[in-house]
Amino acid sequence: MESSPDNITPSERAIIDVVRANKAMPLKEVRRQWRVGHWRFSYSRRSSKNMWGRFGGGWNWKLGMDIGGSCVILNLLVSSLRIERVKS
């Protein structure tokens, strides 16, 4: 069932507004990725001027480590380094 502009709920309108804002203000970021053997490294750094902050949800600073499965993410205050074990 397709929604017409007449029967959009307020929560649907909010989602549409967020999507439009994201399209109008694209992310400003640097992304680099490389691979060494069975390991893939991904570096990313976003601008603090992004609408959702550097790390999403309005967060501009993050320090710490996230570990799960075959991935480790090092959050380095203004950037992050993701290290993954890749199956060959």
pLDDT band at 5 (very low <50, low <70, confident <90, very high): low
- Closest by Cα among 23, 24, 41 to 32: 41
| Residue 68 maps to a domain | yes
How many Cα neighbours within 13 Å face the side chain of 45? 6
pTM: 0.67
Burial class (CB in 10 A: 0-12, 13-18, 19+), 24: exposed
User: Structurally, how many domains does the chain consist of?
Assistant: 1
Range of the domain at 64: 29-88
pLDDT digits (tens, 9 = 90+) for 19-72: 888 788 777 888 999 999 999 999 999 888 777 777 877 788 889 999 998 999
C-alpha to C-alpha distance for 13 and 2, rounded to whole angstroms: 14
| Residue 59 maps to a domain | yes
